[in-house]
Structures are given as structure tokens and as C-alpha cells.
Structure 1
Amino acid sequence: MVYQVLEWTCTVIAFAAFAYRLGTLPGNHRDPTHAALCVYFFGSFFSFVIGLDAVSPHVADLFHYRNVTIILSHAAVVVLTAAQLVVLTYWALPPERARHRARLLVAGFAVALAVLVTMFLVSFPMERQGTSATSSLLNLRNSGYALYVALYTVLIAAGQVVTVRVSWRFAGTATQPWLRRSMRTVAVGGVFILGYCGMRLFQVAATQLKYDVTAYNPVQWFLGDVGSLLELLGWTAPGWGPALAALPRWVRAYRRYHQLRPLWEALHRATPDIVLGGPRSRVADAVPGDLGFRLYRRVIEILDGQRALRPYLAPPVDANGPTAEAQWVREALKAKASGRPPVSAPAPAPGEYPEDLAGETDRLVAVARAFQREP
């Protein structure tokens, strides 16, 4: 169950990241790291989706070979590992050196992939039982396939060693907080994948020595999936991280925006022209676009509404604070609604007026709460 949840989670995240990157590719087609990340996310998505138990049998039927998903998934992992290293290479080296190093990396991984495909076809593993995870372990009794898995695992481990080292080093020099966090997350994910590689090599050796290592199979798949998930989150964090960090501020502003509505509505009914562009319905007001501007306008409109009521105010009382100001607004609204003529010397609104918008918003929220309570 945990294995399937992790596999599906990684599949969905990888596809979402690939779709987002692909959509922004036309505007970044000259950036090799952008294209490499597209390849990385697609490789991640393909490697997971092809191994899902809901998908794997259909792919096997299409190719008339029940273990074809093994080589397809492994090939995708080799490609995504190369793409990941290309990104780190361009980040770590000057452009000319990075371009030369990236070409060597791609060529080297292409040769390695060709060798792996050849070894797989020669060994041609046939055993299939249960899930994709258990079937891979069963075929390790085939010495040719075991050698293939060992070479594949060493190749992936080598890529992860470089990923961990470069990502952690880059995190130490990154100036943007979320880029620093993302690179550390990638590095930690790489450590988990190295744990997976270690377990995989242990399984290869133990199976060839006739030891039963079935009990350890969930551990190595857990390490691999968690590591892959962490790397996916790390590579996407610079995009969603700042928005996540801003979410508490947005929620606080949203609450204040709606907490001000009762006071704003009362003032708007008394003086309709305080609203810029006409009033908004409750439905439209439920999810305001450009919340920062809307909150700012609501504060200004409330202050304008109070200013318009000043000729109708009763003389100020000694009391101060939100309750006194709410009572003052209530009495002024009643005076205007009754048709009472304005007083000759309008009184100022009681209360303290901070100079910053945040302080003014907090003050008016307190007034709005008091205004809702009947005296």
C-alpha cells in the first residue's frame, strides 16, 4: 500500500512539474538547464508511470513481453540522471566549460544506456509474479540479469554521488532562501537513493549466493521512492516555495478583508460614492483578485466613509478605542439617516491612527468587530 501511494505521488508530481516546465519552454528555449529539467521531469514521470501496477500489464501486452517495463523504466532513470547532472553542470561551471562537460556527460550516459539495453536483451528476464517490485527481485537469480542490475545500479549511484556533492555545495553559496532549501532537499533525496542503490547491490550479491533477501525488498523500494520524491520536490521548490511562504500572509489579509466588510457595507450604504468602480457582490467578493490592492481599497473606502460622516458626529466622548469609535460611527449613521442637519463643527473620530497600512488595517478590524456587536 505504501509503495503504491509513493509511486502514484511521484507520478503525479513529476507529471505536473513536466507540464509546467514544458509550457514555459518556448520562452526559455535558449536555456539548456530549462530543457534539461524538462527531460528530468519527463523521465521521472515515465519511470514511475510505466511501473504502476495499473499500467504495467497493458504496456506488457502491447509489446508482448511481460517484463518490458523493467528496461523502459530503467532507461528513463538513466536519462533523468544524465539530465539532472547536466543542470548541475551548467550551474557549477562557466558556460563554455559547462557546455563541453554536458556533451561528454550525455555521450557517456548514451553509451552506458546502449550497453545496458544490450545486456538486458541478452539476459532476457522472464519471471513475473505480483508487482513490478517483486518481479525485479525474482529475476536476480538470472546471473546475466543480475550483472545488468549491478551495472545499472552503479551507474545511478555514481550520478547520485555527484548530485549530492554538487547540490550541497551549491546550497552553501545560494543567496535565495528557497533555492538553498531546494538544493539541500535534492541532496538529501540523493542520499536516500544511494541507500536504495546500496540495498540493490546487496540484493544482487545475496541472491547470487542463494540467500533469501525478500524481506528487505520493501526497504529498498521505500528508500528509492522517498529519495525520488525528495529530489522532485527539491527541483520544483524554487517555483512553489515562495508562494507557500506567502500563504500565511495571504490568509491573514483575506481574513481581514472580510472582517472589514460589515463596517464597509454600512458606510457604503450611507455614502455610495466612496467605492471605486462600484460595489462588488458577495460572490465576487468571496475570492477577490489582487487581494493586496482590494484590502488597501477597503481600508481607504472606510476612512473616506468616516470622513463623509464627520459633519453628523456627536461631540467626542472621553472614551477611546475600537468600541468608542464603533459607537461614534453608529450614531453618525443614525444621524445622517434621520435627516438631521450637519453640526457646524464636526468632531474628529476618536481613536489613534497609525501611519502604516498594516496598523490602520488592524485598528479598523477591531472597530469592525465592535461595530457588529450591538451596544
Structure 2
Amino acid sequence: MADAATYLAACLVLSFALYRIVLDRGTPEDPAVRYICFFALAMGGALLLLAPRSMAILHRLVPLPHLGLLLGAELKVCSLTFLAMLAHSLDDAGADKPSAGRIAGLAAAVGGTLAVLFLAAHAQDGTTAVRAQGADRWLIAAYDFLLIGYFVRCLGVLITLLGRNARRVPPSLFRTGLRLMMASAAVGVVWTLLILGDVASVLRDGTQPGTEDRPSAVLAVAVAALAVGGATATIWGRTVSAPARIARAYRSYCALEPLWSALHEAVPGIALAPPSPHDRWRSMRNAEFALYRRVIEIHDGRLCLRHYSPAAAPGVEADGSPSGARQQRDAAAEAVAISAGLAAMRTGKGSTAAPPHLSAPASSSLGTLDADVDWLLAVTAAFVERTERSANAPG
């Protein structure tokens, strides 16, 4: 179990590092991407080395197998250092912002001290455990405490600075990614605190695990999965949200049907492509594009009614767009203007000029497609209500 989980965590982070290296080849170098790739490479290497099976193989092949534990710890120090550099690279520049060189210098000092403590303890390595006797146990305990302190410090910096950035970012996949990376760091703190059990063990009987045990391996998988998920959130997030986005676009497309049909019946030329029996199926497969096209066609139809809309219709200017901020416009008033324009066109009243056919999309003043769709949905609802009321009116 520990072997499988440790190797899985290593494969996750190493695969991500390889993916980023291939993806970013030939593009301008981004420091944040570089740091997270280095983190993945160092952490993946540490996990591969500290897996129980790997340590057993190392024990048979290498004269000083206990150095594998030290090398694994040094790789973890490197990985956490790169996370600290990543956090500071995302932070706003300031007088108290440490440079990468300063962070690397601290990491080198920590790594050197770890090596001195570990080697001075004359630790002996069994297949799965490190043993120390007498005063050497306190040196191993100091080694463990230094690891805990440095790891928690780096992870604390990462959580703090990622949280600060997440609060500044509007709701988006990028913010989701930042929060997943914060969650990864929080689980990493729990993973680090498991070393306290090693401290108690080595002080009590002079032994501590020399590999990743089962709880550590499970937490390693969680850390790796959350970190990779956060770093790739903008990619997989679009894929995961696609079905809901397509379904929402198709519902809006269908809801706009009554208004579009009325305008298309009056001015067939607004259709950007000739209608066919397969239009509905194509709309389901390409719902977002079909919705965008329908919005354009509705705006074209509204523009074509400008010679027929009564002068009293409030807010309609010469180009057919409502004056002022359209999101403030009463949808019912727009529905009245459209109904009046369609009635005038059917009776031949209004301008003698033929309603123009617009091959180019009409511009929208709402700024976003979502806002435009919401406004047109309100107009459609008011238009349908008015049409049904007129149809049910006596006489």
C-alpha cells in the first residue's frame, strides 16, 4: 500500500513537470512556471527515492544506504524552497520581498545543517528504519525538528501569499487553482507534522522509519493530486464545466426561439445561414456558437424594424440600440417597440424605405454575451406575454 501510494504521488508530480516542460518549450520563460516545475521534479525524485521498495533496493546495492534518507530529505528541502519562490513570485513587489538568492541561501544553510546533524549522528540504517544510540538520538531529533520547522515555514508562506492573491482575483478557474494549491499546502503541513511521531520514536527507543509509511504515502498522494489539480485548473476546469455551459447555452437558445421566429418571419434575411431541418441538432452540438448567432440575428431583426417602430417607442435610437445603459432598460418597453414594429411592417405603415438587410452582426452595447443574452431573455419573456395577451383579448 505504501509503495503504491508513494509511487502514484511521484508519478503525478513528475508527469505534471514533464507536461509543463513540453508545453512551455520555445515560449518565454515564466518564473512561476519554472518554480513549480522544479518543485515537481524535486518532490517526485524524493518520493521515488523514499518509497519502501526503492529503499530496500538501495539497501542491497549501496554501501551506505542510510544516505538515501538524507538525500530524500534534501530533495524535499529543494522542493519546498521552490514553492516558497513560487509564492513570492506571485506576490506584489515590495521592500520586504526576499530575493530568490536570499531564499536559496537560506535553503542551502538548512540543507547543510541537516547533513551535518545526520552524519554526526552516525545513524545506522536497517531495511526500513534508521537507528541511533545514546546522544546520537538527540542529533536525529534535532534533524527532524529542523525539517519540520523549515517545511512548515515554507508552506505557511505559500498559504499566506496564495490566499492574498486569491482574495484579489474575481471568481474564475485561476482562483480555483490558487485555492486548490492552498489546500495542497495545508495537507502538506499535516504530512510534515507526522515527523513528530518520528521524533518521539527516536527519543524513546532510538529508531524511526527510514521510508514513507502508509499514512505519509496517503497524504503524499493528496498533496500531489491537489497541487497538480491547482496548477492545471484552467485546463481541466474548462473541460469539466463544458457540459453545464453547453446545456445553459442550449436552454437560452431555445428560450429565444419565440422572439427570433417572429423577427425571422418578418425579415427572413436576418438569418446568417439558410434554415434547414437539421438546424436544431446542429444547435445542440454547437450550442454556444448557435446562441451567439441567434443573438446577432435578433439584433439584426431589431435594426430592420427601425423604420417601422413608432417614434414614441422609448429609448430606441436611429441605429436600433436602446439609448443609455441597456441593462437598465425596461424589457417590457422593448417588447412593446418590437411588437409595434412588427405590426407596422405587416400593415405597410412606417417608412417607405425598405427595411435593410444587414449581413454584418449588429453591435451590442452590453459588453458581454452573457449580459446580452440575459437582457434578450427578459425581452423575449415580455414579448411572449404580450403576444399571448393580445391573442386572448376579446374581439
Q: Secondary structure at the match of 1:362?
A: helix
1:159 matched to 2:151? The reply is yes
Name the structure where helix makes up a greater proportion of residues.
1
The C-alpha deviation readout for 1:41-88, integer Å capped at 9, x for no partner, is 333444456677xxx858976996598986775454232112112223
Q: Secondary structure at the match of 1:209?
A: helix
Q: Distance in 1 between matches of 2:142 and 2:157?
A: 22
Instruction: Give the TM-score of the pair, scaled to structure 1.
Output: 0.56
CA contact (8 A) 2:250 2:284 kept: no
| Bigger shift: residues 227-236 or 153-162 | 227-236
CA contact (8 A) 2:49 2:72 kept: yes
Q: Distance in 1 between matches of 2:191 and 2:183?
A: 13
Q: Secondary structure at the match of 2:99?
A: helix
The C-alpha deviation readout for 1:298-328, integer Å capped at 9, x for no partner, is 1232455688899xxxxxxxxxx9xx99xx9
Q: Distance in 2 between matches of 1:38 and 1:275?
A: 50
Provide the residue aligned with 1:298 in structure 2.
294
Instruction: Give the TM-score of the pair, scaled to structure 2.
Output: 0.54
CA contact (8 A) 2:17 2:40 kept: yes
Provide the residue aligned with 1:361 in structure 2.
376
Provide the residue aligned with 1:82 in structure 2.
81
Matches within 5 A, 1:1-375: 8=8, 11-12=11-12, 15-16=15-16, 19-20=19-20, 23-24=23-24, 26-29=26-29, 31-48=30-47, 65=61, 74-90=73-89, 91=91, 98-105=99-106, 107-108=108-109, 111=112, 123-127=124-128, 139-141=129-131, 151=143, 154-155=146-147, 157-165=149-157, 167-168=159-160, 171-172=163-164, 176-177=168-169, 186=181, 189-206=184-201, 209-210=204-205, 218-223=214-219, 225-227=221-223, 229-233=225-229, 239=234, 252-257=248-253, 259-260=255-256, 273-276=269-272, 285-288=283-286, 291=288, 294-302=290-298, 304=300, 343-345=347-349, 357-363=372-378, 366=381
Aligned length: 329
TM-aligned CA distance change 1:190 to 1:256, over 3 Å:
same
- Which amino acid in the other structure matches residue 358 of structure 1? V
CA contact (8 A) 1:10 1:48 kept: yes
Q: Distance in 2 between matches of 1:222 and 1:57?
A: 16
Q: Secondary structure at the match of 1:298?
A: helix
CA contact (8 A) 1:17 1:236 kept: no
Provide the residue aligned with 2:328 in structure 1.
none
| Bigger shift: residues 247-256 or 57-66 | 57-66
What displacement does 1:34 show? 3.1
Q: Distance in 2 between matches of 1:204 and 1:297?
A: 66
Q: Distance in 2 between matches of 1:283 and 1:73?
A: 57
Higher relative contact order (CA 8 A, sep 6+): 2
The C-alpha deviation readout for 1:226-251, integer Å capped at 9, x for no partner, is 455555555566x4699699877775
Q: Distance in 1 between matches of 2:162 and 2:21?
A: 22
TM-aligned CA distance change 1:218 to 1:24, over 3 Å:
same
What displacement does 1:98 show? 0.6
TM-aligned CA distance change 1:224 to 1:107, over 3 Å:
same
CA contact (8 A) 2:148 2:195 kept: no
Q: Distance in 2 between matches of 1:5 and 1:367?
A: 58
Over the matched positions of the two proteins, sequence identity in percent amounts to 21
TM-aligned CA distance change 1:365 to 1:98, over 3 Å:
same
- Which amino acid in the other structure matches residue 127 of structure 2? M
- Which amino acid in the other structure matches residue 286 of structure 2? P
Q: Distance in 2 between matches of 1:369 and 1:9?
A: 57
For the aligned residue pairs, the C-alpha RMSD in angstroms reads 6.1
CA contact (8 A) 1:275 1:301 kept: yes
Q: Secondary structure at the match of 1:27?
A: coil
Q: Distance in 1 between matches of 2:9 and 2:126?
A: 28
What displacement does 1:210 show? 4.3
Gaps of 5+ in 2: 307-331, 351-364, 367-371
CA contact (8 A) 2:151 2:189 kept: no
